[in-house]
Amino acid sequence: MPIRLASHPDTPTPLGKGTVSPVFLCDACAKPIEDARHALYLMQRDAPGRPYSEIVYCHKGPCFETLNSPDGFAYADDLTDFAITLLNRAHLSHILSPEYRF
């Protein structure tokens, strides 16, 4: 599932409206991933002619077991690492602790 936006209508803002925040949804159970330390991101195997792969997000444990097929995935890692890499690639590393910058 893609990253979705969750609305928080009761949060005050300068415009008087609510706020939104990004939420990762598990591709196995469709529930929000509340703690990145307990989740994975998975890269599907490349399809011919496609230089980029779809990303799959899931909770560790039973949700991963549900998604993992005999073909498997090309790559899997902790969702915390995905978030750190994303911030670095977006040139937002200044908000990270120095040990996470590259």
Q: Which pLDDT belongs to residue 1?
A: 57
**Does residue 16 sit within a domain?**
no
Is 39 in a helix, a strand, or coil?
Answer: strand
2, part of any domain:
no
Average pLDDT on 72-98 reads: 84
Confirm whether 20 is domain-assigned: no
* Domain annotation covers residue 54: yes
Look at residues 59, 65, 64, 1 and name the one whose alpha carbon lies nearest to residue 27.
1
Confidence grade of residue 15 (pLDDT, cut at 50, 70, 90):
low
Number of domains in the chain: 1
pTM reported for the whole predicted model: 0.75
Range of the domain at 30: 25-100
| pLDDT tens digit sequence for 38-63 | 999 998 776 677 777 788 999 999 99
Has residue 26 got a pLDDT over 90? yes
